């Protein structure tokens, strides 16, 4: 059967595949410590659920504007002004079916065949494949633990060519938890502004999870000039534990927002209508849920990083944001004779019944991503099992 070339260029999401393996074993009755999950383990707050149910009772079951109903876009504008110091008007906002959808729309609007997107690695697994679907070329910029998994301005400047169209920023970062400081963003903004056809897509979906007194800074907030070159992408998925609700949004210069809305009008039309109503409630009256989640995950962050660093052959930086520990297992891989991090993942799943995601999926061979968006008991048991599986023969 002949399929389109774009399908053959991309691969299924490795994180979804890893989670599926874990679910299959759970279905067989195997006790799995699942650290693959890319979503909060907390439930959506009741006040948001009630708002959705009330919206259904009131008949919010019809189509809306493709870019989302105006009250939602106004609420998004209010949120961006309040939390990020960003002033937008509703016609610059496009609400979509999750941040992934917003990113896809942005790439579709900006990239022509053969044009390049700069993607710092480690990166979220979907970025390169989204670019490939658009017939673009992902250009990977490697980073290291020594730089805090952040690119240097020189790396970015050196990577720009006459085909470079987009620089992708993900801060806080999935999978590393890196948070890009204002000073770094200011230097990067200066570089971007030297190239008239270069835009920034800033994925800020983990903005509510920033630790140790750090502050999330959106590059778009640095000046009006860089704001005119930036598409800010966010969602309610992480902030309000609403991953399955599928409600994200983008804020962009009006011509780009219009282009994204046009693309969306020919794909999904609008995000689910009653979810939009619930999102208005969440955005305008967030309550203390995001802060409580931050405090909980901060505690778990210290727990899992400490436990991982007590395993021979494993080294783990303390993440600055998000809810992932990105641990260097290369020494353990070498000592135990594994071919690569994928083989180590399979070993840990089969022998220790611990599900993780290989760092190679994020452009970082030798690492594993372990989500701490799960219970303390699960994290403690997972670390114990990993240590036992790797080094139990020493006892």
pTM comes to: 0.95
In this structure, the number of other CB atoms found within 10 A of the CB of residue 222 comes to 18
pLDDT of residue 27: 84
Give dist(CA 151, CA 219) in Å, integer: 15
Determine the angle formed by the axes of helices 70-84 and 273-284, rounding to 10 degrees: 30
pLDDT of residue 263: 97
Q: Half-sphere exposure (CA, 13 Å, Cβ side) for 242?
A: 30
pLDDT of residue 341: 97
144 contact partners, CB below 8 Å, separation of at least 6 = none
Is residue 327 within a helix (H) or strand (E), and if so which, with residue range?
strand 324-328
pLDDT of residue 327: 98
Q: Residue written as tokens 């995601």?
A: 357
Is residue 201 within a helix (H) or strand (E), and if so which, with residue range?
strand 199-203
Kindly list the averaged pLDDT for each block of 10 residues, start to end, along the chain of length 395: 84 76 83 92 97 98 97 98 98 98 98 97 96 96 96 98 98 98 98 97 98 97 98 98 97 98 96 98 96 98 98 97 98 96 95 96 97 97 97 70
Determine the angle formed by the axes of helices 376-391 and 289-309, rounding to 10 degrees: 20
- Chain-centroid distance of CA 243 in Å reads 12
Please check whether residue 33 is in contact with residue 353, taking contact to mean a CB–CB distance below 8 angstroms: yes
Q: Residue written as tokens 């599986």?
A: 389
In this structure, the number of other CB atoms found within 10 A of the CB of residue 259 comes to 18
pLDDT of residue 75: 98
pLDDT of residue 393: 65
Give dist(CA 216, CA 210) in Å, integer: 7
Q: Is 8 in a helix, a strand, or coil?
A: helix
Give dist(CA 105, CA 298) in Å, integer: 33
pLDDT of residue 32: 93
**Which H, E and C letters describe 82-139, residue by residue?**
HHHCCCCCHHHEEEECCHHHHHHHHHHHHCCCCCEEEEEECCCCHHHHHHHHCCCEEE
Smallest CA-to-CA distance from 235 within 225, 244, 222, 224 is with 244
């Amino acid at each position: 059967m002949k399929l389109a070339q774009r399908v053959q260029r991309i691969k299924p999401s490795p994180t979804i595949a890893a989670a599926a393996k874990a679910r299959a074993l759970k279905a067989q009755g195997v006790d799995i410590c699942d650290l693959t999950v890319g979503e909060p383990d907390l439930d959506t707050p009741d006040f948001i659920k009630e708002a959705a149910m009330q919206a259904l009772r009131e008949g919010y079951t019809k189509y809306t504007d493709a870019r989302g109903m105006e009250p939602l876009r106004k609420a998004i504008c209010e949120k961006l002004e309040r939390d990020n110091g960003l002033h937008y008007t509703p016609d610059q906002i496009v609400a979509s079916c999750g941040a992934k959808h917003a990113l896809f729309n942005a790439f579709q609007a900006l990239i022509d065949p053969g044009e390049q997107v700069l993607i710092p690695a480690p990166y979220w697994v979907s970025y390169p494949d989204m670019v490939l679907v658009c017939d673009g070329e992902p250009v990977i910029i490697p980073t290291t633990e020594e730089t805090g998994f952040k690119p240097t301005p020189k790396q970015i400047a050196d990577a720009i060519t006459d085909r470079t169209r987009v620089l992708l920023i993900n801060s806080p970062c999935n999978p590393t938890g890196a948070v890009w400081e204002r000073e770094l963003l200011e230097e990067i903004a200066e570089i971007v502004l030297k190239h008239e056809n270069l835009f920034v897509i800033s994925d800020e979906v983990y903005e509510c999870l920033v630790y140790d007194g750090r502050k999330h800074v959106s590059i778009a907030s640095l000046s009006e000039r860089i704001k005119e070159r930036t598409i800010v992408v966010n969602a309610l998925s992480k902030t309000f534990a609403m991953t399955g609700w599928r409600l994200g949004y983008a804020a962009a210069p009006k011509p780009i927002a219009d282009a994204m809305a046009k693309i969306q009008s020919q794909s999904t039309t609008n995000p689910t209508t009653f979810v939009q109503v619930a999102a208005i409630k969440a955005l305008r009256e967030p309550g203390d849920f995001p802060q409580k989640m931050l405090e909980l995950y901060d505690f778990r962050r210290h727990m899992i990083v400490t436990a991982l660093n007590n395993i021979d052959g494993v080294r783990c930086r303390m993440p600055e944001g998000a809810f992932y520990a990105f641990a260097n297992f290369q020494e353990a891989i070498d000592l135990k004779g594994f071919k690569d991090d994928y083989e180590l993942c399979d070993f840990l799943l089969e022998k220790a019944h611990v599900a993780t995601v290989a760092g190679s999926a994020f452009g970082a061979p030798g690492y594993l991503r372990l989500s701490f968006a799960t219970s303390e008991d699960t994290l403690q048991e997972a670390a114990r099992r990993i240590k036992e599986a790797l080094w139990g023969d020493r006892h």
